[in-house]
């Protein structure tokens, strides 16, 4: 049992992160100071939240490339509402952010479910549409720090037990996802749909509806992150989080979420995001050329994925087996 | 008699042709690094102003949605297909755009670059917002003004391949010795992404404990660095300066994270670019030594490399930010 646990992908990834942090500390000892690690974790929190949303989408054999655009559009929306109505309480704005994100996720889900368009095509399209909408909404203008209300910017920075609220939100969502995935019928359905859609139908699971729900949940999280992102960096413009959807997918893949669907764990996605976050936060402080930085983050992703591909030859946790295997 | 008639008809036809040629609207394309950046939106306003002043000019404000050379090449190719009269471009890459722009010039389109330049054979003239030497000097002077005893400063740039950033930093390094005790400890790249710039600024504060100032000659970088300094509780301790827009920096001047910064007026820059393009369409030759009119901004004198400087950068601080923050 212990040996199996040690051999699990999550454990190996956790070890890889520990080794990585060790190597960085040899170059820059200040990196392992608790304050700095907390900073790095806080910085990685948006990636964690988005990676969890992306994880359930990937589990159902789909992919959501529109998460960063969804985030940017929601962020712009709440920033604009905040500048127009500074008195509006922040919980209302967060509700609006989640609602807007949910709607955008649901659009992805509906197009995939009802029109049967491949998810990569749907979300590639909506990604561009959402980015375009930001431009139409803002007319290319920036929303700047001094235009946002103080309470709008303060929320993710609010400290509780010496960690900012942004970090706590990421932790809370991770815990909620562990329960969702392991203990609810919907969570099990995500695996079943991705593991074997045909068998899932026989088990009474509506494949399209499950995928729709995965997209919707992913959209809701992207919406929430939209508010958090804009308030944290105190600026909203068309290009925020440009290309971030690729980081999110990379975090999932590093975390051992199989692109073929049906395989992956919440802890895996969480650690995958942490792994990328550590690299992103360490590169600026260890003083290497910006060109080498790009190559290093790329190499790290490929090594992690190659490693995963090797270890995933062992069959993952398919809870509904292939017909051939059964009979 | 017959001859006279012939002459008269020819004259009338020629007159008619010239008037129609003049009445036809000139189409000038203002191509920016990416759409949705405040600085370029302001430049477009200036371009519209110039177009309005000239009268028979239709301004096409365009650019890719992200700051890539590939995106700009696509935009330029489509402008060639539309047969515009002039292209004024702020380039994402000095060399990559040259073939596409050469093709445009072969089709008779007047090509100028402004803000961020294109290599000499890819354009007829280049409009520098200010002279590179003046900007390089200005950004280090802004930091030095608040550090009478000197200290460590670091540079936060956009991407490592950005033409204008690299030239300004080079010019800055040439004159840094003249400022007592100013020591440039690092140059990092935030790629004009808010999150990466923020992280790079955090990294600078961590790896250089005695850092006194961050110089960011980019409007995305300076805002992100100022936010990172505020969040680290070091506003007033580390001065963020460089090139930024008043509307984007107003909050950070107020919080004390930035004491002052500089920028030329992007409205004037867009205005001048369109005026210059119009002058070229009207047949003025762009050759070294030429003086080309640009409306209310006077004339642009070209150097041996067919480049010219518009004006000195202007310094914004707590005393004048409120006058400008609503303009651009």
| CA-based nearest distance A184→chain B, Å | 35
Residue A287 lies inside a defined structural domain of this protein: yes
Give me the tens of pLDDT residue by residue for chain B, a chain 328 residues long: 455 566 555 555 555 444 444 457 899 999 999 988 778 888 999 999 999 999 999 999 999 988 889 999 999 999 999 999 999 999 998 899 999 999 999 999 999 999 988 999 999 999 988 888 889 999 999 999 999 888 999 999 998 888 889 999 999 999 998 998 899 999 999 888 888 999 999 999 988 989 999 999 998 999 999 999 998 899 989 999 999 989 889 999 999 999 999 988 888 899 999 999 999 999 988 888 889 988 888 888 888 888 888 877 889 999 988 877 876 7
Q: C-alpha A168: how far from its chain's center? A: 15
A177 confidence band (pLDDT: 50, 70, 90):
very high
Mean pLDDT of A99-111: 96
Residue of B nearest to A142 (CA): B38
In a domain, A256, yes or no: yes
pLDDT of amino acid A4: 60
Residue A200 pLDDT > 60, yes or no? yes
User: What proportion of chain A, given as a percentage, has pLDDT over 90?
Assistant: 55
A86 at B interface, C-beta within 8 A: no
Tell me whether residues B36 and A30 touch, CB distance under 8 A. Answer: no
Domains defined along chain B, listed by start = 2-129+266-311 (3.40.50.2300), 132-263 (3.40.50.2300)
Chain B contact for A146 (CB, 8 A cutoff): yes
A153 lies in a domain?
yes
Distance CA A131, CA A122 (A): 14
Instruction: Say whether residue A297 is in contact with chain B using an 8 A CB cutoff.
Output: no
- A237 CB neighbours in chain B (<8 A) are 36-38, 194
Q: Would you say residue A319 lies in a domain? A: no
Q: How far is A248 from chain B (nearest CA, A)?
A: 14
Do β-strands B260-263 and B314-317 pair in parallel, antiparallel, or remain unpaired? antiparallel
The CATH number assigned to the domain holding A93 equals 1.10.3470
**pLDDT reading at A309 higher than 90:** no
Structure tokens at A205: 């699971």
Long-range own/partner contacts, residues A146-152 (CB < 8 A, 24 or more apart)? A146/B250, A146/B251, A146/B252, A146/B254, A146/B325, A147/A79, A147/A83, A147/B251, A148/A79, A148/A82, A148/A83, A148/A231, A148/A234, A149/A82, A149/A86, A151/A90, A152/A79, A152/A82, A152/A86, A152/A90, A152/A93, A152/A231
From B39's Cα to the closest Cα of chain A, the distance in A is 10
Q: Which of A141, A233, A280 sits opposite B38 (nearest CB)?
A: A141
Count of A–B CB contacts within 8 Å? 103
Is the CB of A279 inside 8 Å of chain B's CB atoms? no
Mean pLDDT of A34-47: 92
> Which residue of A166, A233, A297 to mutate against B (max B Cβ within 10 Å)?
A233
Predicted confidence at residue B10, as pLDDT, reads 57
Listed by number, the residues of chain A in 41-60 with a beta carbon closer than 8 Å to a beta carbon of chain B are: 43
Q: What pLDDT shows up at residue B18?
A: 47
What is the pLDDT at residue A326? 42
- H or E, element range at A105: helix A90-114
CB atoms A146 and B254 under 8 Å: yes
A41 belongs to a structural domain: yes
Sign of CA dihedral B232, B236, B237, B243: positive
Supply the pTM of this predicted model. Answer: 0.76
| Residue appearing with tokens 């909404």 | A137
A176 has pLDDT over 90:
yes
Query: Mind listing the pLDDT tens digit for each residue in A313-324?
Result: 555 555 665 555
A159–chain B Cβ distance below 8 A for any pair: no
Query: Where does residue B61 fall: left (phi above 0), alpha (psi -120 to 50 degrees), or beta otherwise?
Result: beta
For residue A321, tell me if it sits in a domain: no
Cα–Cα distance, B79 to B86 (Å, whole number): 9
User: Could you tell me which residue, A6 or A212, shows the higher pLDDT?
Assistant: A212
Q: What is the pLDDT of residue B214?
A: 95
**Is B71 in the A-facing interface, judged by CB distances under 8 Å?**
no
Residues of chain A found within 8 Å of residue B325, distances taken between Cβ atoms: 146
Helices B194-207 and A266-282 pack at an angle, to 10 degrees, of 60
Q: Report the residue from B65, B200, B206 with minimal CB separation from A131.
A: B65
Residue A30 resides in a domain: no
- Which chain A residue lies closest to B156 (C-alpha atoms)? A284
Q: What is the pLDDT of residues B15-72, one digit of tens each?
A: 544 444 445 789 999 999 998 877 888 899 999 999 999 999 999 999 998 888 999 9
Contact yes or no for A280 and B199 at CB 8 A: yes
Extract the tokens encoding B109: 């389109």
Q: Where do the H-state alpha helices sit in A139-243?
A: 150-154, 165-183, 185-195, 197-202, 207-233
Contact A61, A208 (CB under 8 A): no
Q: Tell me, what's the pLDDT at A325?
A: 45
The predicted structure's pLDDT at residue B12: 53
pLDDT of the residue at A145: 86
Helix axis angle for A67-84 and A244-254, nearest 10°, is: 130
When divided into structural domains, chain A yields a total of 1
With CB atoms and an 8 Å threshold, state whether B227 touches A287. Answer: no
A-contacting residues of B 262-301, CB under 8 Å? Answer: none
Looking at the complex, report in whole angstroms how far the Cα of residue B42 sits from the nearest Cα belonging to chain A: 10
Can you give the residue range of the structural domain that contains A225?
9-22+37-312
**Cβ A105 vs Cβ A222: under 8 Å:** yes
- How far is the C-alpha of B146 from the C-alpha of A216, rounded, in Å? 52
Angle at A177 between CA A176 and CA A180, to 5 degrees: 90
- Torsion sign, CA atoms A280, A284, A289, A290: positive
Q: Is A30 on the interface with B (CB under 8 A)?
A: yes
Q: Compute the nearest-CA separation of A60 from chain B (Å).
A: 30
Residue A267 lies in a domain: yes
Residue A236 DSSP label: B
Which of residues 87 through 146 in chain B touch A, CB cutoff 8 A? Answer: none
SS3 B151: strand
Three-state DSSP at B213 gives strand
């Amino acid at each position: 049992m212990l040996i199996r646990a040690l051999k699990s992908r999550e454990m190996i990834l956790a070890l890889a992160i520990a080794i990585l942090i060790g190597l960085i500390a040899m170059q820059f000892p200040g990196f392992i100071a608790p304050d700095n690690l907390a900073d790095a974790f806080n910085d990685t929190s948006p990636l964690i939240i988005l990676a969890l949303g992306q994880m359930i989408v990937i589990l159902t054999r789909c992919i959501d490339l529109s998460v960063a655009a969804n985030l940017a559009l929601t962020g712009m929306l709440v920033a604009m509402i905040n500048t127009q109505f500074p008195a509006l309480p922040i919980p209302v704005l967060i509700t609006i952010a989640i609602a807007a994100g949910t709607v955008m996720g649901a659009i992805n889900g509906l197009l995939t479910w009802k029109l049967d368009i491949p998810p990569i095509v749907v979300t590639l399209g909506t990604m561009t549409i959402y980015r375009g909408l930001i431009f139409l909404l803002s007319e290319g203008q920036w929303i700047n720090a001094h235009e946002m209300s103080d309470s709008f910017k303060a929320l993710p920075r609010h400290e509780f037990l010496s960690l900012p609220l942004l970090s706590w939100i990421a932790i809370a969502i991770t815990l909620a996802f562990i329960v969702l995935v392991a203990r609810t019928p919907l969570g099990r359905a995500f695996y079943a749909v991705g593991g074997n859609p045909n068998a899932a139908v026989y088990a009474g699971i509506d494949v399209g509806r499950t995928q729709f729900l995965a997209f919707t949940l992913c959209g809701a999280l992207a919406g929430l992150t939209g508010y958090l992102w804009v308030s944290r960096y105190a600026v909203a413009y068309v290009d925020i989080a440009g290309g971030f959807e690729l980081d999110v997918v990379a975090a999932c893949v590093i975390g051992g979420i199989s692109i073929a669907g049906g395989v992956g764990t919440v802890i895996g996605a969480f650690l995958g995001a942490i792994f990328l976050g550590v690299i992103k936060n360490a590169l600026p402080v260890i003083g290497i050329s910006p060109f080498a930085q790009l190559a290093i983050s790329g190499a790290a992703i490929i090594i992690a994925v190659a490693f995963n591909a090797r270890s995933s030859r062992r069959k993952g946790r398919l809870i509904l087996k292939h017909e051939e295997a059964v009979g | 008699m017959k001859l006279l008639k012939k002459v008269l008809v020819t004259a009338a036809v020629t007159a008619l042709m010239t008037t129609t040629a003049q009445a036809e609207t000139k189409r000038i394309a203002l191509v920016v690094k990416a759409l949705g950046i405040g600085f370029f939106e302001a430049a477009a306003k200036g371009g519209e102003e110039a177009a309005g002043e000239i009268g028979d000019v239709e301004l096409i404000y365009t650019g890719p949605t992200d700051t890539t050379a590939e995106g700009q090449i696509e935009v330029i190719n489509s402008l060639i297909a539309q047969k515009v009269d002039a292209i004024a471009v702020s380039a994402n890459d000095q060399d990559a755009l040259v073939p596409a722009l050469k093709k445009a010039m072969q089709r008779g389109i007047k090509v100028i670059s402004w803000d961020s330049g294109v290599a000499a054979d890819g354009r007829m003239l280049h409009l520098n917002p200010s002279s590179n030497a003046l900007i390089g000097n200005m950004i280090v002077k802004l930091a030095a003004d608040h550090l009478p005893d000197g200290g460590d400063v670091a540079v936060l740039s956009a991407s490592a391949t950005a033409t204008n950033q690299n030239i300004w930093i080079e010019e800055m390094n040439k004159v840094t010795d003249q400022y007592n005790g100013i020591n440039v400890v690092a140059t990092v790249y935030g790629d004009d992404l808010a999150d990466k710039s923020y992280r790079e600024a955090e990294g600078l504060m961590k790896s250089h404990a005695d850092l006194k100032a961050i110089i960011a000659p980019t409007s995305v970088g300076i805002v992100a660095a100022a936010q990172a300094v505020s969040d680290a509780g070091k506003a007033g301790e580390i001065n963020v300066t460089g090139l930024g827009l008043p509307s984007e920096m107003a909050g950070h001047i107020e919080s004390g994270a930035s004491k002052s910064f500089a920028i030329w007026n992007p409205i004037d820059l867009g205005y001048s670019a369109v005026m210059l393009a119009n002058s070229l369409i009207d047949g003025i030759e762009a050759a070294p030594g030429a003086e080309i009119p640009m409306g209310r901004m006077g004339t642009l004198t070209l150097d041996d490399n067919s480049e010219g400087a518009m004006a000195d950068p202007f310094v914004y601080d707590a005393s004048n930010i409120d006058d400008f923050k609503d303009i651009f």
